[in-house]
């Protein structure tokens, strides 16, 4: 159900202060210019991330610090938002990440390869018992359906990609459904853009793998602004065709630059950065209303981008990448 | 209905409607301000200033009601007997501040709450945040002026 925008007055007031504390380019630069990863971490310790340092023992534990900080922020936002479920949507991808890890553990025997993330909307215990007992009745219907599909198709061919594909579909299906139920046109439009940008990326990958139209159809996420037919029809053509077709869409510029980057470097790194920057810009334009969900979602996205940037810097520092190479990949800040 | 009852209805509307508007406006700014102060307690003084702004409509309404009460002798004397026409005229005189007071307080509250967001980020721009909210005040003052001129213009 939609709630009165005025109910957001308190939450937006808090967000206005929190926004000012997001990392600006200056602080990211200090992390970047630091001589070692340990020095970079010291910059992190001076900020709100410092609260979680007790739980980390060294540089390699930085993931713990980052995920604790995000979990803390989401929990605070859920407490102060009149529609906690809308805020939790921003952490739903963590639940689905966990679900993927649990599935891979059970069916592919990959134990502990990827760490579990703090839960978003669904308690981890329920996910774990659901997967272990193959009983998904306690989980949202979208997840139950995806899980049953995975089990069914897994019986025919145990392809790990099936887990990814079905759960990604279910994730966005659920995000759109909750946003619609909550009456937020803003969130629906945001997720549609996320879907489009992911679909462009998926198209490039599927094309490179040389898979069939049927596979592409399964891999594309439904519900975006760009029609699936657009991608399906272009599978047999050159990538220039896709650039032309997207020229008049909202993603014209980034698609052109991102796809050229893909053709030159053979990786989606450039496209992924541009896609993140697009969403950041989109949310930044919408953050000014004094009441409403927009500033909250914008801040949470900004925080996720900040964490992504910190991770890029720390991973780069630990692996001894040159400063410029790291800087190139950094996302625009939300400020 | 006698004239006096209509005049008292005018008093009631002049006090009640702007009062509701001011309560809503001050409450809204209070929520925004509480949000800001949760994260930054030093902003209390500045946000309080903004919170007070939508409160004036309630005062204007009470002032109008008070003047009507004086005019018709509810306070300080005996009640003047009023004809139904006189009563209706007083009721009409109360309407400008009653209606404009209600709505302008709500809108001023929204503008002031947005101003709270502004000073959360740029505390040095408090003056501008106040000016934006005060612009709304103009229309409450105009309505108050109209109501008072009407009341004094009526012959009891």
B1 touches chain A (CB under 8 A): no
| Most B CBs within 10 Å, among A16, A20, A24, A284, to test the B interface | A16
Asked if the C-beta of B42 comes within 8 angstroms of chain A's C-beta atoms, the answer is no
Mapping DSSP to helix (H, G, I), strand (E, B) and coil, where does residue A27 land?
helix
Amino acid A112: pLDDT: 64
CB contacts, 8 Å: A290 with chain B? 32, 110, 113-114, 117
Single out the residue of B90, B110, B109 nearest to residue B14, CA to CA: B90
pLDDT at B80 over 90: no
Question: Are A77 and A300 spatial neighbours (Cβ–Cβ below 8 Å)?
Answer: yes
DSSP A266-332: SSSHHHHHHHHHHHHHHHHHT---SSSSHHHHHHHHHHHHHHHHHHHHHHHHHTT--HHHHHHHPPP
**Tens digits of residue pLDDT in A45-72:** 999 999 888 877 777 788 889 988 999 9
Q: Residue B155: is its pLDDT beyond 80?
A: no
Residue B38 contacts A, CB cutoff 8 Å: yes
pLDDT of residue A1: 55
Question: How high is the pLDDT of residue B78?
Answer: 85
Determine whether B12 is exposed, middle or buried from the number of CB atoms within 10 Å of its CB (0-12, 13-18, 19+): middle
Average pLDDT of chain A is: 90
Q: Rounded to the nearest 10 degrees, what angle do helices A269-285 and A294-318 cross at?
A: 150
More confident residue, A302 or A104: A302
Length of chain A counted residue by residue: 335
Chain segment A133-173, per-residue pLDDT in tens: 888 888 889 999 998 888 888 888 878 888 888 999 999 99
Closest in B35, B43, B120 to A10, CB measured: B35
Residues of A at the B interface (Cβ-Cβ below 8 Å)?
A: 6, 9-20, 80, 290-291
- Range with the poorest average pLDDT among A124-138, B10-24, B45-59: A124-138
Boundaries of domain holding B144: 3-153
Inform me whether the pLDDT recorded for B26 exceeds 60: yes
Total-model pTM = 0.91
pLDDT in tens, B82-117: 999 999 999 999 999 999 999 999 999 999 999 999
The CATH number covering residue B74 comes to 1.20.120.610
Number of domains in chain B: 1
DSSP string covering B55-86, please? GHHHHHHHHHHHHHHHHTTSSSSPPPP--HHH
| ipTM for the assembly | 0.87
Of A14, A16, A291, the CB nearest to B121: A16
Could you say which of A6, A14, A291 has the minimum Cβ distance to residue B39? A14
Among the residue ranges A103-112, A248-257, B41-50, the one predicted with the least confidence is: A103-112
For residue range A176-199, list pLDDT tens digits in order.
999 999 999 999 999 999 999 999
CB contacts, 8 Å: A9 with chain B: 28-29, 31-32, 35, 113
Which of B32, B40, B43 shows the shortest C-beta gap to A10? Answer: B32
pLDDT mean over A113-122: 80
Q: Chain A partners of B33 at a C-beta cutoff of 8 Å?
A: 13
Contact A290 B121 (CB under 8 A): no
Instruction: Kindly list the structural domains of chain A, giving each domain's residue range(s) and its CATH number in brackets, ordered by start.
Output: 1-83+313-335 (1.10.132), 85-181 (1.20.1690.10), 185-292 (1.20.1690)
Cβ-based contacts of A76 with chain B (< 8 Å): none
Q: Is B120 on the interface with A (CB under 8 A)?
A: yes
Does residue B19 surpass a pLDDT of 90? yes
pLDDT value at position B124?
A: 95
Q: What is the pLDDT of residue B59?
A: 98
């Amino acid at each position: 159900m939609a709630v009165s925008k005025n109910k957001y007055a308190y939450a937006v007031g808090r967000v206005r202060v929190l926004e000012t504390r997001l990392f600006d380019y200056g602080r990211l630069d200090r992390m970047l210019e630091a001589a070692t990863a340990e020095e970079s971490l010291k910059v992190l310790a001076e900020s709100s991330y410092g609260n979680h340092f007790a739980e980390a023992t060294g540089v390699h534990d930085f993931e713990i610090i980052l995920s604790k900080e995000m979990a803390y922020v989401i929990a605070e936002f859920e407490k102060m938002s009149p529609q906690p479920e809308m805020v939790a949507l921003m952490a739903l991808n963590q639940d689905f990440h966990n679900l993927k890890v649990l599935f891979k553990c059970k069916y592919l025997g990959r134990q502990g390869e990827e760490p579990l993330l703090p839960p978003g909307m669904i308690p981890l215990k329920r996910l774990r018992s659901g997967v272990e007992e193959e009983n998904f009745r306690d989980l949202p219907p979208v997840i139950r359906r995806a899980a049953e599909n995975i089990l069914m198709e897994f019986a025919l061919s145990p392809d790990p990609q099936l887990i990814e594909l079905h759960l990604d579909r279910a994730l966005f299906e659920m995000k759109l459904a909750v946003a619609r139920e909550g009456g937020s046109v803003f969130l629906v439009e945001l997720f549609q853009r996320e879907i489009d940008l992911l679909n462009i990326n998926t198209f490039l990958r599927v094309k490179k793998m040389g898979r069939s139209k049927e596979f592409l159809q399964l891999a594309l996420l439904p519900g975006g602004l760009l029609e699936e037919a657009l991608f399906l029809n272009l599978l047999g053509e050159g990538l220039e065709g896709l650039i032309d077709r997207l020229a008049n869409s909202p993603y014209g510029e980034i698609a052109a630059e991102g796809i050229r980057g893909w053709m030159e470097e053979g990786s989606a790194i450039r496209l992924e950065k541009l896609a993140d920057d697009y969403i950041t810009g989109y949310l930044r334009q919408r953050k000014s209303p004094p009441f409403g969900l927009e500033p909250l979602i914008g801040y949470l996205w900004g925080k996720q981008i900040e964490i992504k940037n910190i991770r890029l810097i720390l991973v780069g520092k630990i692996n001894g990448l040159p400063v410029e190479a790291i800087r190139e990949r950094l996302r625009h800040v939300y400020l | 209905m006698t004239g006096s009852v209509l005049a008292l209805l005018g008093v009631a509307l002049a006090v009640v409607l702007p009062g509701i508007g001011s309560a809503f406006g001050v409450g809204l700014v209070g929520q925004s301000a509480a949000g800001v102060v949760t994260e930054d307690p030093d902003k209390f003084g500045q946000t309080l200033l903004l919170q007070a702004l939508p409160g004036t409509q309630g005062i204007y309404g009470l002032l109008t009601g008070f003047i009507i009460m004086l005019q018709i002798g509810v306070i300080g004397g005996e009640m003047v007997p009023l004809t139904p026409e006189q009563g209706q005229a007083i009721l009409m005189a109360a309407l400008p501040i009653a209606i404009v007071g209600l709505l302008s307080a709500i809108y001023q509250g929204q503008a002031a709450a947005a101003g709270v967001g502004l000073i959360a980020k740029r505390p040095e721009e408090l003056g501008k945040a106040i000016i934006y909210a005060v612009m709304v005040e103009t229309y409450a003052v105009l309505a108050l002026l109209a109501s008072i001129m009407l009341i004094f213009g009526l012959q009891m």
